[in-house]
Structure 1
Amino acid sequence: MHIVIMGCGRVGSTLAHILEEQGHSVAVIDQDREAFRRLRSGFKGKRITGVGFDQDVLIEAGIEEAGAFAAVSSGDNSNVIAARVVRESFGVERVAARIYDPRRAEVYQRLGIPTVATVRWTADQMLRRLLPDGTEPLWRDPTGAIVLAEVAYAEEWVGEKVQALEEAARARVAFIARLGEAMLPVPGTVLQEGDVLHVIAVENDLERIGTAFAARDRPGGRSHGKGAH
């Protein structure tokens, strides 16, 4: 597949190298000719100097044959404009724009422009590494409303069906990490010691779900004195 990238900063150049290694043809657009120095000497793709939302520049980059377009320049407005031009004028369906302002990202997403909110994603990754076990999101949808989170649970739940925990917490377990492998829970799946639960939920419900998972009462009202992980 041919892929056009607007912006040859650290993200753009890294994307270009990875995509080329995967066998794709790549064209990189940047207004600053010096930016192409970030591309390694063996890079075989096109280097196009110009404005990424200019149609002539895009055509030179091969947008008419492209299967995807990534707008990862340093400007939010430029990224969004380019993404819209590529989608609306050239009919490219696989389009994504990097956005620094998370509030803008939500608006653009609602307008149908897939975005990656860099600041919010980075903050989430830092929180995961800084804070103890809890319910910090591993993934967040571009609108910021739906999250995937690893949620700790009381050890008294071990041996119970995952479905019982879901019903008690009014939550949906997206998948379980067990012995280093991911698995999708089915109605009869039993929680085993060491399982790591990943929940998909509305972010505002995470605190409530975490409290329910950490509860020491197993189904049937049996209470135990041990604490949660």
Structure 2
Amino acid sequence: MHIVIMGCGRVGSTLARILEKRGHSVAVVDVNTDAFRRLGPDFGGRTVKGVGFDREVLLEAGIREADAFAAVSSGDNSNILAARVVRETFEVHNVVARIYDPGRAEVYERLGIPTVATVRWTADQVMRRLLPTGSEPQWRDPSGSVLLVEVHVHSDWVGMRIGEIEEAADARVPFLFRMGTGIVPRDSTVFQDGDLLYVGVDKERLAAVEAILSGPPPRG
């Protein structure tokens, strides 16, 4: 894949190096040529000076051959404008934009532009570790009706099968996190002490599911 990245800050440069190590072709765009130093001496991709919503800059970065575009500069407006230009003018459909303003991120998500709301994401990650229940979901669909949530599970559930947990909570467990590794469980997978459980649930049932799993399993 050829991937164009706008912004060579910490996020953009890290993303570029990771993608290149995975064998992808990468072009990085930034208005400050000094920023390209973050890529390191071994970076073999293209570096282009300019803004990611300038047609000539994008062409130099190989946008016509691009399979994906990431706008991760420090400016919300620049990121959104670049994402729209790339999608609407060059018809690159796999785009994502980093946004600091969570309200603005929700608006563009509804318009079909995937965003990462940096401040909101960081706050959510901290809150999940402070509060066992009631925290923000890991993922929600654009309508906000379906959620993926890390759920606190009472220790008495340890030793039960995932299928039994799903039936009791009337929810789905698409994956769990065990000893630093993600696992897609089967019905027969046994819930172990220390597992982090991720539950897919309708928004209106979230409180009920959290209430069920945060207490001991119902008898019978």
Runs of 4+ off more than 6 Å:
none
Question: C-alpha root-mean-square deviation of aligned residues, in Å?
Answer: 2.7
Q: Percent identity?
A: 57
SS in 2 for 1:103: helix
**Correspondence for 2:34:** 34
Return 77-86 or 188-197, whichever deviates more: 188-197
1:51 aligns with 2:51: yes
**Correspondence for 1:24:** 24
Q: Structure 2 CA distance, aligned partners of 1:43 and 1:155?
A: 48
SS in 2 for 1:86: helix
> Aligned in 2, Cα 1:75/1:203: closer, same or farther, shift over 3 Å?
farther
Contact kept in structure 2, 1:69 and 1:83, CA below 8 Å? yes
Deviations 1:33-52 (A, max 9, x none): 23223221222222211121
**Correspondence for 2:4:** 4
Deviation of the 1:143 alpha carbon? 4.2
> Aligned in 2, Cα 1:86/1:166: closer, same or farther, shift over 3 Å?
same
**Correspondence for 1:140:** 139
Deviation of the 1:191 alpha carbon? 4.5
Structure 1: which 5+ runs fail to align?
Answer: 221-229
Return 156-165 or 203-212, whichever deviates more: 156-165
Aligned partner of 2:211: which letter?
T
SS in 2 for 1:27: strand
Q: Structure 2 CA distance, aligned partners of 1:144 and 1:122?
A: 22
Contact kept in structure 2, 1:114 and 1:142, CA below 8 Å? no
Aligned partner of 2:23: which letter?
G
Return 111-120 or 145-154, whichever deviates more: 145-154
Deviation of the 1:219 alpha carbon? 3.8
1:155-166 paired onto structure 2 within 5 Å = 155-158=155-158, 160-166=160-166
SS in 1 for 2:138: strand
Deviation of the 1:61 alpha carbon? 0.9
TM-score by length of 1: 0.81
TM-score by length of 2: 0.84
**Correspondence for 2:200:** 200
Contact kept in structure 2, 1:6 and 1:28, CA below 8 Å? yes
Deviations 1:43-96 (A, max 9, x none): 222221112101111001111111111111111111111111111211212211
> Aligned in 2, Cα 1:120/1:205: closer, same or farther, shift over 3 Å?
farther
**Correspondence for 2:109:** 109
> Aligned in 2, Cα 1:61/1:188: closer, same or farther, shift over 3 Å?
closer
1:55-204 paired onto structure 2 within 5 Å = 55-129=55-129, 131=130, 133-134=132-133, 136-137=135-136, 139-141=138-140, 143=142, 145=144, 146-158=146-158, 160-177=160-177, 182-187=182-187, 191=191, 195-202=195-202
> Aligned in 2, Cα 1:41/1:210: closer, same or farther, shift over 3 Å?
same
Q: Structure 2 CA distance, aligned partners of 1:70 and 1:176?
A: 28
Alignment length, in residue pairs?
A: 219
Contact kept in structure 2, 1:68 and 1:93, CA below 8 Å? yes
Contact kept in structure 2, 1:176 and 1:182, CA below 8 Å? yes
Aligned partner of 1:64: which letter?
R
